[in-house]
Amino acid sequence: MNKEKRNFTCTTCGYKTIKWVGCCPECQEWNSIQEEKQERLKWATKGTNLTVSMVSLDTVQTTALKRMLSGIGEWDRVVGGGIMPSSIIILTGDPGIGKSTLLLQISHGLSHNYKVFYFSTEESLQQVKLRANRLGCIDSKLLFSDHAELENIIATALQHKPDIIIIDSIQNCYGAQTTTIPGSISQLRESVFYLMRLAKENNITVMLTGHITKEGTIAGPKTLEHIVDGVFYLQGEDRWQTRILRSVKNRFGPINELGFFEMQHNGLIEVPNINEHLLNEVSYSPGSVLISVIEGSRPLLLELQALIIESKLAIPQRVISGIDHKQVMLIAAILEKYLHIKLSKHDIFIKVSGGFKVKGSGIDLGIALSLLSSYFQLPLPQKSIALGEISLPGQIKPINQINIFIREAEKFGIKTIINAHNQKIEKTKCTMKSFKNVYDLLSLFKE
C-alpha cells in the first residue's frame, strides 16, 4: 500500500488537512480544498549546476543601505530612522483611518530624492488626484497608476527600476497567472511573496497598505506579517483626530515605537510633542486624573476621566474605554471593600482621553483616584500625577521606572506626584504626596 502522506490546503484561508473535505472547517468555503503537490527535491541530491556562490561578509557592499528619509519626522522615526532600502513593509489599520493619506504624503516626501511609483489599486487616478490636491502633494516626479494586476506591477518595476513602489492596497491587487482564488488569503500571501522577491532581488523598496480584520489582524493570515520586514499600524478613534502610528514588527528598527499625527483638512499633521498636546486638554476637574505610561521609547502623560453616578438600574452600567475592564472592576472592588463606598450601586463610566489605550499596574492608583474624585465630586490637586500600583489588600505599591515619568511630568510643569510611601525617587522639584494604603487616599478629598 502506498503510505505516502498527502496534504490538502484551503486556497481561501490556508487551512491544512491530511484528508480532502468539501467544505473548509476553518472558513466554511466550499470546494476550496486542494491537494498540495509535493515536488520532491530529488534532483538536489544528484549534483547539478544549480549551485550558488558563497561569499564572505567582508566582500558585501553596504554603501547602498542609506536609509530613505521622507522628511515626515514621526514616520521616519517609527520606521527606525528612515526606510531600509530593498525592504518590504506593510502599513495597516481600519478602513478610513488615513493609510492612503499617510502613504501619499510619505511618497511625496520620498519623491524629492527617489524615484517612486504609486499603484493605487483601490481608487481611480481622479480620486487620488482629489486627495493629492487636498494634501498639496502634486509633483511631476511622483508617478501613479491605477493598475491592480500583480504581473503588470512587477513587470513595470523591473523595466523602469524605481527606488520605491507603493501599492495601496495589497488586498485589491490580483495575480492573473496565479492558481489561487483572486482576493483569497492564499493569493494575498502569494502576491506578497512575489513582491518580497522583487524587493530583495532588484533593490526596490516595497510599501503596501492592508486592511485589518474585525479581530485586529491584517486581513488574512498573520503569516503575512512573517513575510514582510516591517508591519506598522495606524490607529485612532473616529471621534478623535489623533492618529497613532505603531511599529509592531520591524526587522530594521525598534518595535512598539509610536508616532503621532493629527488628521486635519489638509492631511496628517505631525504632532512631535505629544505630551504638550495632551496636557493642553487636561481639566483637573472632579474625576480627572493624570497618569503616565511608557509607549515605545517615550512616557506619555494621559488623562483618565471617570464619572460615577448612583445607578437607576438593577445592574449598574460599566462603560469603560481605553483600559482593561477587569482592572477597573478590581480597583472598584478594593475601594468598596476597604473604604465602604458602594461603587457596586453606582454606574461607572471611565475612559482615557484622546482615544488612547493603556495597560499596566502602574495606572492602578490613577484609576482609584479618578473613581474617588468623581464619587466625592472633588478635584485632585491641580497639576498632579498619580503613579502607583494597588495590591489586593489595598496597599499602594511602588512602580518601576517612576523617575522617567517624573522627569517627563516635571518638564511639563507638573507640581505634585501622588505615589507609594516606599517609592524610591531621585531628586526632583515636585512635591510628593505618598500613601501607604487606599484608606489614606481619603485625606486627598478632605476639604
Residues that bind ligand TYD (CB under 6 A): 93, 95-101, 131, 134-135, 263, 265-267
- Is residue 243 within 8 A of residue 214, CB to CB? The reply is no
Q: Provide CB contacts within 8 A for 417, sequence distance 6+.
A: 384, 385, 387, 406, 409, 425, 428, 430, 431, 432, 433
**Cβ–Cβ < 8 Å for 175, 190:** yes
CB of 98 or CB of 162, closer to ligand TYD: 98
Name residues whose C-beta falls within 8 Å of residue 246's C-beta, 6 or more positions apart in sequence: 78, 232, 233, 235, 256, 257, 258, 259, 296
The smaller minimum CB distance to Mg ion, of residues 170 and 350, is found at 170
Q: How far is the CB of 262 from ligand TYD (least distance, A)?
A: 10
| 120 interacts with Mg ion by CB under 5 A | no
Which option in Mg ion, ligand TYD, none does residue 131 bind, with CB closer than 5 to 8 A by kind?
A: ligand TYD
Is the CB of 100 or the CB of 180 nearer to Mg ion?
100
Query: Which partner, ligand TYD, Mg ion, none, binds residue 189 by CB below 5 to 8 Å per kind?
Result: none
Q: Which range in 100-108, 110-118, 315-323, 344-352 contacts Mg ion by CB under 5 A?
A: 100-108
> 236 touches which of ligand TYD, Mg ion, none (CB within 5 to 8 A by kind)?
none
Q: Does 100 contact Mg ion by CB under 5 A?
A: yes
Nearer of residues 32 and 121 to Mg ion, judged by Cβ = 121
DSSP helix/strand/coil, 249: strand
What is the nearest approach in angstroms of ligand TYD to the Cβ of residue 131?
5
Burial class (CB in 10 A: 0-12, 13-18, 19+), 257: buried
State whether residue 306 is helix, strand or coil: strand
- Residue 19 binding target from Mg ion, ligand TYD, none, CB below 5 to 8 Å by type: none
Please give the helix or strand (H or E) that residue 211 lies within, else none. strand 205-211
**Closest CB to ligand TYD among residues 122, 303:** 122
Q: Identify what 97 binds: ligand TYD, Mg ion, none; CB under 5 to 8 Å per kind.
A: ligand TYD
Question: Which one of ligand TYD, Mg ion, none is in contact with 101 (Cβ closer than 5 to 8 A by kind)?
Answer: ligand TYD
Q: What is the grid cell recorded at 363? A: 495606572
**389: which residues sit within 8 A by CB, 6+ positions away?**
361, 362, 364, 365, 396, 397, 398, 399, 420
- Adjacent-strand bridge partners of 405: none
Residue 429's SS3 state is coil
85 binds, among ligand TYD, Mg ion, none (CB under 5 to 8 A by kind): none
Taking the complex as a whole, the smallest distance from the CB of residue 93 to ligand TYD amounts, in Å, to: 6
Closest CA to 404 of 389, 426, 382: 426
Q: Quick one: which segment of 62-70, 93-101, 132-140, 367-375 binds Mg ion (CB under 5 A)?
A: 93-101
Judged by CB under 5 A, how many residues of this single chain contact Mg ion? Answer: 1
Q: How far apart are CA 390 and CA 366, in angstroms?
A: 10
Minimum gap (Å) between residue 279 Cβ and ligand TYD: 24
Binding site for Mg ion (CB under 5 A): 100
